[in-house]
Amino acid sequence: MGPKAAELRRELRELVKAHVPEGFLGAFTDNPADLETAQQFCRTLAEHNRLCLSWPEEFGGGGASVWEQTVVREEMWAHHEPRGAQYMGVNWVGPIIMRHGTEEQQRKHLPPIARGDVIWCQGFSEPEAGSDLASLRTTARSDGDGWLVSGQKIWTSYATMAQWCFLLARTHKGEKKQQGLTIFLVPMDDPAIQVRPIRCMMGPHHLNEVFFDNLRVGRSDVLGEVDQGWSIVQDVMAFERVGIARYARCERLLAAAPSVLGDRWEDLPAELRGRWVRMLTHCRRARLLAYRVVSLQSNGRIQPGDAAAYRIAVTKLDQDSAEVLMDIAAEVSPDDPGGRWFLGEAEDHWRYSQASTVSSGSIEMQRILLSRAMLAAAK
Amino acid sequence: MSEMILDLGEDAKEYGRQALRAFEAAGGDQLVQQAEAKPDTRDALVGAVLNELGAWELDARTDADGLEAAAALCRSAGYWALPYPVAERLACPVDLDVDGLIVVADNQQAGAIGGLELRWAAVTSDGVRSDVVGRGVSGPAFVTALKLSETDRNGAGDVALGLVLPCWTLLGMLDRAVELTIAHITLRKQFGQPLSAFQGVQFQLTDAEVERSGLEILAKYALWSAGAGKPEALEDALALRMSAIEAAEVVFRVCHQLHGAVGFCDETTLSWLSRYSQPIRRLPLGLSATRDLLTRRVGRDGLTGLYA
């Protein structure tokens, strides 16, 4: 990764240590202080020119290499994403607006993201459109100079705290369902939008339903071309191809386990220590597969199956390592040094990992992509 | 070789492709069947093509390019289930006057060297080196018991590569098994459509591919670690070996299942790959013993990574 990446890793760890309290489990707990920690951390990163490190310099970013971006992904996810919901704005909303937005949209939206001031949510999934996203039913009905949007989104992360929504809606019924879709950039404080939180095991303030009741949007809210939103969705997915560095948190927690148990580590059943080593090997495997995807993507040689194989490996790692960590947690007392921290982490990791094969493209979709690529390559 | 490798260099990959073509021209899938019928013809069957490829001029021990080429050659040998211990010969220590190196367990010494008249050294994971001074009757896949005579205890640095290169051979076998399976499910029709049209079949294929591609990336890592002489090279090699055996279990299970009954037949290449993968998976240590040794060696430190 090179010395710059190593230096960045050290710097990020110091920033996390200085600005994120120990035991922080993400921004979406019942404790409002956690959200404020994340918001403040984003502003701190922005002050250190580290928030938009991956952005091109012409948009005020750091022009960082793909390897520095990888370090950011790893360190942030390993420490429960102390950027909270803002990682989406930095990772793909901003870059997509750079690519498809008008100058006015860029002036309006990019500086607040770069300052660490704004949270975005993604209005994609619907009750009847999960993996089959193009079947969505939220409709933008033509009305005068603009449209009236009505419909329902679901599983929308961070909608209660977001100021903006990256909304996908149907503007026309095309011959194919992928046609006639449009992206709108809409403010979440519009009274035509109602958000209903869905409390869940992954964190109480994470998932939501979002209802649109004749939300008025205009031409200036359209990102890219009307009816051409599907190609932007593909771009969004390409930005998220590597996705979150799940392996980094798995590895951090697994590596911490022996020190929490102290001398009792050697008393663990040999079979459990064997499973622990196996998971560390799977962490390495997933990390190296991620690096390979990053490398292939950066030189334009990536094939659809490359990322899918990695995504399957890393999401299964997330769940498998969570089971091993919970098995180790069975031996840990809250009174052990670091015991309470470890038990909280292991529980949170286990809960969150249940969704890893479902969210951001289910494992079934990844399997379809991978098998399709394998069969096509053999033709 | 200072930077970790995510892929072999172009020269090594081209050498691997040349080797694939050369092995095919020398007899391809027939070689292992001919060798099984007459184990003492192993050298006659493939010795010449390996010489032509310059296999024994590769310096896997001290030259980074030679090491990558050696790995590529092992992979190509695995692809054809080449009936010859290519990896073991390429792992030959530089300071011993022998033709190859076999890593052995403390409690069981065996190697797939039946039918070959070569001078072998053996090494345990603790670095105890021996001369192979006798051998038993050759069993399935040329495996034979070894009689050893200890020579020194200086082989600690020999072990990692001795474990890593056979994993490259196994990787080549998995490459081929997956390739054969894709061809089979594309051709074979049931209920009026190719097997490949069934999602249940497609998803099994992805199970195999995730394991195969995971093994591939770990094989590159462990090769780099061994070549760079990392202090943890042996642990990296054992981690690779554990994953290689697990990957082989999944891949061959899936490939046999998707081939159906024809996959067991002697006329089907998969059956030869599958049975000849066994010595590599079993020797010097099977899955449980490999994991056990790795666990004992890493102790509480774990593997080198982001947080250790």
Sort strands A146-154 and B129-135 into parallel, antiparallel or unpaired.
unpaired
With contacts defined as CB-CB under 8 Å, which chain B residues touch A316? Answer: 210
Same domain, A167 and A68: no
The answer to whether the Cβ–Cβ distance between B305 and A284 falls below 8 Å is: yes
Q: What is the C-alpha separation between B174 and B176, in angstroms, rounded? A: 5
Helices and strands of chain B, counted as H and E runs: 11, 7
Q: For residue A209, tell me if it sits in a domain.
A: yes
Same domain, A141 and A197: yes
Average pLDDT over residues B172-189: 98
The answer to whether the Cβ–Cβ distance between A292 and B210 falls below 8 Å is: no
Residue of A nearest to B243 (CA): A281
Average pLDDT over residues B69-90: 98
Sort strands B100-103 and B120-123 into parallel, antiparallel or unpaired.
parallel
Is the pLDDT confidence value at A204 over 80?
no
With contacts defined as CB-CB under 8 Å, which chain B residues touch A276? Answer: 295, 302
Is the pLDDT confidence value at B181 over 60?
yes
Same domain, A140 and A88: no
- State pLDDT tens for residues B33-54: 999 999 999 999 999 999 999 9
Do A167 and A192 meet the contact criterion of CB atoms below 8 Å apart?
A: no
Is the pLDDT confidence value at A28 over 90?
no
Q: What is the C-alpha separation between B300 and B289, in angstroms, rounded? A: 18
Same domain, A189 and A253: no
Do A180 and A199 meet the contact criterion of CB atoms below 8 Å apart?
A: no
In the structure encoding, which two tokens stand for residue B26, read together? 């020398």
C-beta pairs of A307-310 under 8 Å, 24+ apart in sequence: A307/A241, A307/A242, A307/A369, A308/A366, A308/A367, A308/A369, A308/A370, A308/A373, A308/B206, A309/A370, A309/B206, A309/B209, A309/B210, A309/B213, A309/B214, A310/A242, A310/A286
Reduced to 3 states (helix: H, G, I; strand: E, B; else coil), residue A155 is coil
Q: How far is CA B159 from CA A127, A284, B149, B154, in A?
A: 57, 21, 18, 10
The answer to whether the Cβ–Cβ distance between B179 and A378 falls below 8 Å is: yes
Grade residue A30 by pLDDT with cuts at 50, 70 and 90. Answer: confident
Q: What are phi and psi of A228, to 5 degrees?
A: -110, 25
Reduced to 3 states (helix: H, G, I; strand: E, B; else coil), residue A337 is coil
Q: For residue A31, tell me if it sits in a domain.
A: yes
The answer to whether the Cβ–Cβ distance between A368 and B199 falls below 8 Å is: yes
Mean pLDDT of chain B: 96
Same domain, A265 and A218: no
Average pLDDT over residues B165-170: 98
Q: What is the largest CA-CA distance in chain A?
A: 73
**Residue carrying the six token digits 């939008």:** A193
Sign of CA dihedral A71, A302, B221, A352: positive
- Identify the residue among A72, A249, A261, A281 best suited for mutation to test binding to B, counting B beta carbons within 10 A and taking the highest: A281
Would you state the pLDDT for residue A1? 74
Which residues of B touch chain A, with CB atoms under 8 Å apart? Answer: 6-7, 178-179, 182-183, 186, 196, 199, 202-203, 205-206, 209-210, 213-214, 217-218, 220-221, 239, 242-243, 291-292, 294-295, 298, 300-303, 305-308
Grade residue B266 by pLDDT with cuts at 50, 70 and 90. Answer: very high
Is the pLDDT confidence value at B261 over 70?
yes
* Residue where one domain finishes, among candidates A118, A140, A168: A118
A-B contacts (CB, under 8 Å):
118
- State pLDDT tens for residues B14-33: 999 999 999 999 999 999 99
pLDDT cut 70: percent of chain A above it: 100
Average pLDDT over residues B214-227: 97
Q: For residue A302, tell me if it sits in a domain.
A: yes
Grade residue B146 by pLDDT with cuts at 50, 70 and 90. Answer: very high
Predicted-complex ipTM score: 0.97
CATH of the domain at A340: 1.20.140.10
Residue of A nearest to B202 (CA): A371
Q: For residue A378, tell me if it sits in a domain.
A: no
The answer to whether the Cβ–Cβ distance between A309 and B210 falls below 8 Å is: yes
Same domain, A89 and A153: no
Same domain, A40 and A99: yes
Q: What is the C-alpha separation between A151 and A169, in angstroms, rounded? A: 9
pTM of the model: 0.95
Same domain, A222 and A246: no
**Which of the following is catalytic: A7, A68, A126, A240?**
A240
Would you state the pLDDT for residue B279? 97
Closest Cβ–Cβ partner in B217, B242, B306 for A278: B242
Closest Cβ–Cβ partner in A252, A281, A375 for B242: A281
Is the pLDDT confidence value at A5 over 90?
no
Sign of CA dihedral A291, A292, A294, A295: positive
Do A356 and A319 meet the contact criterion of CB atoms below 8 Å apart?
A: yes
Same domain, A106 and A139: no
Tell me the fold of B157-298: Butyryl-CoA Dehydrogenase, subunit A; domain 3 (1.20.140)
Grade residue B2 by pLDDT with cuts at 50, 70 and 90. Answer: low
Closest Cβ–Cβ partner in A277, A292, A364 for B217: A292
- State pLDDT tens for residues B97-143: 999 999 999 988 999 999 999 999 999 999 999 999 999 999 999 99
Is A240 among the catalytic positions?
yes
Domain regions of chain B by residue span: 157-298
Is the pLDDT confidence value at A285 over 70?
yes
The answer to whether the Cβ–Cβ distance between B302 and A374 falls below 8 Å is: no
Q: What is the largest CA-CA distance in chain B?
A: 64
**Residue carrying the six token digits 């090279």:** B233
Would you state the pLDDT for residue A100? 97
Is the pLDDT confidence value at A311 over 90?
yes
Q: For residue A379, tell me if it sits in a domain.
A: no
The answer to whether the Cβ–Cβ distance between B220 and A288 falls below 8 Å is: yes
- State pLDDT tens for residues A45-67: 999 999 999 899 888 888 888 89
Q: For residue A108, tell me if it sits in a domain.
A: yes
Q: What are phi and psi of B143, to 5 degrees?
A: -75, 135
Is the pLDDT confidence value at B241 over 50?
yes
Distance of CA A91 to the CA centre of its chain: 8
The answer to whether the Cβ–Cβ distance between A284 and B6 falls below 8 Å is: no
Same domain, A254 and A364: yes
Number of domains in chain A: 3
With contacts defined as CB-CB under 8 Å, which chain A residues touch B302? Answer: 254-255, 258, 276-277, 280
Using only the alpha carbons of chain B, give its radius of gyration: 19
* Residue where one domain finishes, among candidates A82, A100, A118: A118
Q: For residue A367, tell me if it sits in a domain.
A: yes
Closest Cβ–Cβ partner in A248, A273, A285 for B243: A285
Do B75 and B169 meet the contact criterion of CB atoms below 8 Å apart?
A: yes
Higher-confidence residue: A4 or B211? Answer: B211
Sort strands A207-217 and A146-154 into parallel, antiparallel or unpaired.
antiparallel
Query: Of the candidates B62, B61, B69, B83, which has an alpha carbon nearest to the alpha carbon of residue B11?
Result: B69
pLDDT cut 70: percent of chain B above it: 99
CATH of the domain at A183: 2.40.110.10
Is the pLDDT confidence value at B1 over 50?
no
Do A46 and A60 meet the contact criterion of CB atoms below 8 Å apart?
A: no
The answer to whether the Cβ–Cβ distance between A371 and B206 falls below 8 Å is: yes
Same domain, A346 and A260: yes
Closest Cβ–Cβ partner in B6, B199, B243 for A281: B243
Q: What is the C-alpha separation between A144 and A152, in angstroms, rounded? A: 23
Tell me which amino acid residue A74 is: E
Distance of CA A234 to the CA centre of its chain: 16
Would you state the pLDDT for residue B177? 98
Q: For residue A8, tell me if it sits in a domain.
A: yes
Query: Of the candidates A102, A89, A93, A99, which has an alpha carbon nearest to the alpha carbon of residue A219?
Result: A102
The DSSP secondary-structure symbol of A90 reads I
Residue of B nearest to A263 (CA): B300
* Residue where one domain finishes, among candidates A70, A86, A118: A118
- State pLDDT tens for residues A253-276: 999 999 999 999 999 999 999 999
| Domain interval for residue A84 | 3-118
Same domain, A213 and A91: no
Sort strands B110-111 and B144-152 into parallel, antiparallel or unpaired.
antiparallel
CATH of the domain at A87: 1.10.540.10
